[in-house]
Structures are given as structure tokens and as C-alpha cells.
A and B are shown apart, each in its own frame.
Chain A
Amino acid sequence: DIQMTQSPSSLSASVGDRVTITCQASQDIDDSLNWYQQKPGKAPKLLIYETSNLESGVPSRFSGSGSRTNFIFTISSLQPEDIATYYCQQYENLPYRFGQGTKLEIK
């Protein structure tokens, strides 16, 4: 199985800050990586697919980059509504696996 390691596990930032989350795969997954946002009590929402493609309707302050084993998710200017937990997910091989999540809070 491919293991996904996200960091940090939690993050506190101010409105307007640039926020970065990293995700590391235990082996080469090419660009087969998605990012999701989950708000409390809600289902996850797909934000970024295939490493860097923005899902339709998702604000452009969200972005993704990386390849092979190292990936980055960025919020260019944090907004209050971005408070959530973020997950990376690989789909290079079955079983699909998620990172452990990064809980984002407002400072």
C-alpha cells in the first residue's frame, strides 16, 4: 500500500495569510493526487485534482503543485470560510489512501 503523510497535522493562521500544507507519498505516484476540504459535520469536497487542477467553482486562492512523492497545497490568502480539515488522497494504486488530515484554524 502507498502511505500518505501530511504535515502539519494542525495549523493556526490569520485571515489574509498564505497557508501551505505538504503531503508526501511513500512511493512515486506521478501526479495522481487530489486535495479535499472537509468542514465539521459535512462530507469532504474535492478542491484540487491531478495535483494542480482546480475543481470547477473552487476559488482561485486554492492551488496545488508537486509530483512523484512530494506535493504542496496552498491557500494564497486565508479567508474565514476556509476553516476546515484538508486531506490529500492518492489514486495511483489501489487501495486509495488519504493523508491523516490538516486541521486549519484561525489565529
Chain B
Amino acid sequence: QVHLQQWGAGLLKPSETLSLTCTVLNGSFSGYYWSWLRQPPGKGLEWIGEINRSGGANDNPSLKSRVSISLDTSKNQFSLSLTSVTAADTGVYYCARQRPYGYTFGQFDLWGQGTLVTVSS
């Protein structure tokens, strides 16, 4: 069964760079978009950004160009980099698959297990 496995550093200091990677296991990488989302403690979900099979990416303007999403198709992996983190970036980070539906890729139908990232001095 297809699933997403994610990993990365869970404790960062302010101004450091958050780095997370997600691998697609037992499934195809092509034909989907791939996203990162996050959830601050006790709060709702925020979309961070997406990347497609060709490497084209979009991100949430609220993150003020601190986001970089890349992919390694040879490893069925995609990665998130978020620079200059502050305490406001603390939360659970999820990778997710976006399936095609009509002309859109707006449904997150498969999620990673989540990684708690804490930013603290």
C-alpha cells in the first residue's frame, strides 16, 4: 500500500533552517503534486507549498519567500526547506499527496505521519 514517510530535525534554534524530507513508498511519484502543510500546537492547518513532477513549485505568500521545495525523482522523495525560523514556525509538519481531479490537484488524499518541529533558543 502506498504511504508517505517523512523525517527531519525536530529541534531548531531561531534563525536556523528547517529541513524535512518525505519519501513515497510502494507507489508512483508521477502524476501527482506533492505538498507540505503544517499545524501549530492546538491550531488549524496551513498549506506551505507544493511541487509537481516536473519540479514546478508554488508556495504560500504568507511565508514571505522563506520556502523552498525540491524533489528527487530517482529516490521518490521531495523536501522542504524553511529559512530563518522563529518560534512562530513551531508545529507539526506534514507532507501530503495531491491527486489529479479534473483540472485541479487540490485534494490531499494521502498524508505522512507528521513531524513535530520546535523552534526554541
Contacts and interface: CB of A to CB of B under 8 A. Distances in A.
A59 interface: no
A94 B60 CA distance: 8
Contacts of B41: none
Contacts of B101: 49-50
A89 B101 CA distance: 15
A36 B62 CA distance: 23
Interface residues of B, number: 22
B47 interface: yes
A49 B77 CA distance: 26
A55 interface: yes
A98 B46 contact: yes
A44 B107 CA distance: 12
Contact of A32 (B44, B94, B104): B104
Nearest to A43: B111
Interface of A: 1, 32, 34, 36, 43-46, 49-50, 55, 87, 89-92, 94-101
Given A91-B106, A95-B61, A100 B44 contact: yes
State the majority secondary structure of interface residues on A. Answer: loop
Given A43-B94, A89-B45, A96-B106, 19 more contacts: A1-B61, A34-B107, A36-B45, A43-B111, A43-B112, A44-B45, A44-B111, A55-B109, A89-B108, A90-B106, A91-B106, A91-B107, A95-B47, A95-B58, A96-B35, A97-B47, A98-B45, A98-B46, A101-B45
The 5 closest A-B pairs by CB, nearest first: A91-B106, A43-B111, A96-B47, A95-B60, A98-B45
